[in-house]
Amino acid sequence: MAQPQIKKIGIFKCGNIGTSPLLELLLDELADRKDIKVRTVTTGSKMGPDDVEEAMPKMFEFNPDLLIVISPNTSLPGPRKFREKISSSGLPGIVISDAPGKRAKEEIEQQGLGYMIITGDPLIGARKQFLDPIEMAIFNSNVSKVLAITGVYRIVHQEIDNVIYAIENGQKPDLPRLIVDLKVVRDRSEFSNPYAKAKAIAAYGLAEKIAEINVQACFIEKDSEKYIPLVTCAHEIAQTAARLAEDAREIEKGNDTVMRKPHSKSGKLKIKTKLMLPPVSDEEFYDENVS
């Protein structure tokens, strides 16, 4: 009887943004969740229509209950193709993309899909004089730390979790429609110290700046004397942003107020702050912290 409750989450990644590499892991960080299975198919760093076309069918053959597609700029032909496919399949679908993806916002809404556009998930400095596999990995490491600590990854998994819960309960899910910008980070980040929060927002602001500079460096400047300093500068900002985010978390650690929300085996989030105490349900947590 438990069997019917196991829902299958299909994730399709084409190309890469900072939210991509760990996305499926965010949903089941302890690998002990009994209510879902996750299957991911990716086309690596490439995101051309051919790549998508070839890989897409495998995703659907998994018979997922929920589909998530994540890519840079979802308005490009490759990701668009996948969106169309979800839309026509009638399955609930969520699109995750970076700032340029904003352009597709209306289209996505018309397709009946949810979306999370993450303005601080910045374009990488993709210039051959600068970017090699190591530099690429370092950049992803830094961006990932920023998105984790500032609360963006929390928003991402909670929004998906909510959709899953609805599906599990046989309800029509409320798909997220969110531009995750600096203000959303400010309003939804989970810090108890206001300076920690300010540092986190600052880190996110830096991530937005990276995007701005890398767009200039990758698409506008033509002379290597001009764009090498810019991509290098953008990656320096990524490193700085990661440190700043870390500083924010260190403050919470110093006060023993880090908020943690592990998934329980049933899939529900538990919640805790004091490190030596066990996580509890939302109700218990807020009861305790109010009374």
Residues in 256-285 that interact with a copy of itself by CB under 8 A: 256, 260-264, 270, 272, 275-279
- Which long-range CB contacts under 8 A does 247-252 form with residues at least 24 apart? 247/199, 248/149, 248/150, 248/191, 248/196, 248/197, 248/199, 248/200, 248/203, 249/149, 249/196, 251/191, 251/193, 251/195, 251/196, 251/199, 252/191, 252/192, 252/193, 252/196
From candidates 177, 188, 209, 268, binder to a copy of itself by CB under 8 A? 209
Q: Does 179 bind a copy of itself (CB under 8 A)?
A: no
As measured in angstroms, the least distance from the Cβ of 110 to a copy of itself is 29
From candidates 66, 68, 206, 211, binder to a copy of itself by CB under 8 A? 206
Instruction: Name which of 108 and 180 has its Cβ closer to a copy of itself.
Output: 180
As measured in angstroms, the least distance from the Cβ of 19 to a copy of itself is 10
Q: Is 255 helix (H, G, I), strand (E, B) or coil?
A: coil
* Best CA proximity match to 123, nearest among 71, 75, 189, 186: 71
Q: How many residues does the chain have?
A: 291
Q: Does 49 bind a copy of itself (CB under 8 A)?
A: no
Instruction: Name which of 104 and 147 has its Cβ closer to a copy of itself.
Output: 147
Q: Does 193 bind a copy of itself (CB under 8 A)?
A: yes
Instruction: Identify which range of 86-94, 109-117, 198-206, 283-291 contacts a copy of itself by CB under 8 A.
Output: 198-206
Q: What is the DSSP letter of 22?
A: T
From candidates 75, 97, 111, 140, binder to a copy of itself by CB under 8 A? 140
